[in-house]
């Protein structure tokens, strides 16, 4: 249960102001079809985070508990720093307009998540907890929690979010998690 809850909170906070949230806003404005967009976010995130989680679990098997916790801790602190850098979104190609809202969202989200901080967090969380189902369910739920309000409420909601404060909260959460894992690594080493 811990892995699920940590995964939800980590990704939901980290996603605030992320490029995929900006992508959700753009798709909502373009297509004005929230349900197909959310379905696309769900499918893309499940696929992307399942692959990331599999990599994380695999990595977790090859590392000692101390080294694993140390690597996860350092990666979480790196995520804390990365979260402080706001994302931007470049304009996509005009061909997206000709596809359905679901297909455009699924493809765009899957590609946008490659190498994104939430994908890297999924690798780290899956390596740390070795519970692929809980981690992927948590990170996917976190992604949906962060993007659903943007998709349904669009620009009016996005302009009222205190994004800078949310970036600081997400960064603090990553910093706390990183510190916890590093402390665990040191305890294993002694």
What tokens appear for 2 in the block? 């811990």
Mean pLDDT by 10 residues, the chain (190 residues): 92 82 82 92 97 92 82 80 66 55 92 86 89 96 94 69 71 84 84
What tokens appear for 130 in the block? 């070795």
What tokens appear for 18 in the block? 């992320």
| CA–CA distance, 146 with 49 (Å, rounded to integer) | 15
Range of the domain at 142: 2-189
| CA–CA distance, 84 with 82 (Å, rounded to integer) | 5
| CA–CA distance, 7 with 32 (Å, rounded to integer) | 29
pLDDT of residue 163: 62
Structural domain total, the chain: 1
Tens digits of residue pLDDT in 139-180: 999 999 999 998 988 756 556 666 677 668 778 877 888 898
Q: What is the pTM of this model?
A: 0.74
What is the largest distance, in Å, between two alpha-carbon atoms of the chain?
Answer: 60
| CA–CA distance, 162 with 141 (Å, rounded to integer) | 21
pLDDT of residue 125: 92
């Amino acid at each position: 249960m811990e892995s699920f809850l940590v995964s939800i909170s980590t990704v939901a906070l980290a996603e605030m102001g992320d490029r995929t949230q900006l992508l959700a806003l753009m798709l909502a404005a373009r297509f004005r079809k929230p349900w197909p967009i959310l379905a696309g976010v769900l499918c893309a995130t499940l696929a992307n985070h399942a692959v990331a989680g599999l990599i994380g679990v695999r990595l977790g098997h090859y590392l000692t508990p101390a080294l694993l916790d140390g690597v996860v801790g350092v990666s979480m602190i790196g995520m804390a720093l990365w979260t402080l850098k706001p994302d931007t979104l470049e304009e996509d190609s005009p061909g997206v307009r000709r596809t359905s809202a679901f297909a455009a969202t699924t493809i765009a989200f899957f590609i946008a998540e490659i190498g994104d901080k939430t994908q890297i967090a999924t690798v780290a969380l899956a390596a740390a907890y070795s519970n692929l189902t809980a981690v992927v369910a948590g990170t996917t739920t976190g992604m949906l929690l962060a993007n659903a309000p943007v998709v349904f409420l669009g620009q009016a909601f996005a302009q009222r979010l205190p994004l800078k404060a949310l970036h600081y909260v997400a960064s603090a959460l990553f910093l706390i998690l990183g510190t916890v894992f590093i402390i665990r690594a040191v305890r294993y080493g002694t």
